Amino acid sequence: MFDSLFDISRAEADQGFGGGLVPVDLSAVASEMWELYEPLAEDKGLFCSAEVAPGLSVLGDRNLIAQGLANLLDNAIKYCAAGDTLALSLTSTGDRHLLRLADGGPGLPEELRDEAFDRFTRADRDRARGIKGHGLGLALVRAIAARHGARLTLPVVAKGLTVEIAWPALDPTG
């Protein structure tokens, strides 16, 4: 828990500073994280799909980006049940690369939507179900997105939870 709090504080403190950021192949990071987590999702009985456009790059910190994706994938797998869906996509929208992770799980209670990315936010129903966690994963994802100048949103969907991160695209021609 203390490591997560430290990671959040460090990412927030570095927000707005380009120092330490280098070109990162976001497509490769997304694909690698998917390859790592997809077997876990399938073992839990989730129906998985991924569509990652190749060669999409950002100015970033590869380790932080991977950590953010790991948190999102881990949360999705933790909260979904057998038979639910899990889908990852990465597309280019011109000046942004849109990373989208959508699951068919229970979703986020409406009363928590505004504070979902605050530290220590957890739904009472999840505590009651015995789902472990400290409510720091989404706070870290928000801090990582902010560190990279990315826009983080939770679009309203009919079922489950969808997280979108619109990363500033890095022009491959320089």
Give me the domain span that covers residue 100.
2-168
Alpha helices in 93-153 (DSSP H): 124-128, 137-147
The CATH number given to whatever domain includes residue 23 is 3.30.565.10
Number of domains the chain contains: 1
Least confident range from 43-47, 58-62, 116-120, 147-151: namely 116-120
Residue 35 has pLDDT above 50, yes or no: yes
- pTM here is 0.80
Task: Pick the range with the lowest mean pLDDT from 40-49, 82-91, 93-102, 139-148.
Answer: 139-148
Strands (E), 93-160: 96-103, 151-153
2 in helix, strand or coil? helix
Has residue 15 been placed in a domain? yes
Q: Tell me how far apart the alpha carbons of residues 76 and 134 are, in angstroms, rounded to a whole number.
A: 15
Report if residue 174 sits inside a domain.
no
Angle at 82 between CA 165 and CA 121, to 5 degrees: 45
Q: Is residue 103 part of a domain?
A: yes
pLDDT at 4: 43
Percentage, residues of the chain above pLDDT 90: 57
**pLDDT tens figures, 140-166:** 898 899 889 999 999 999 999 999 999
* pLDDT over threshold 90, residue 2: no
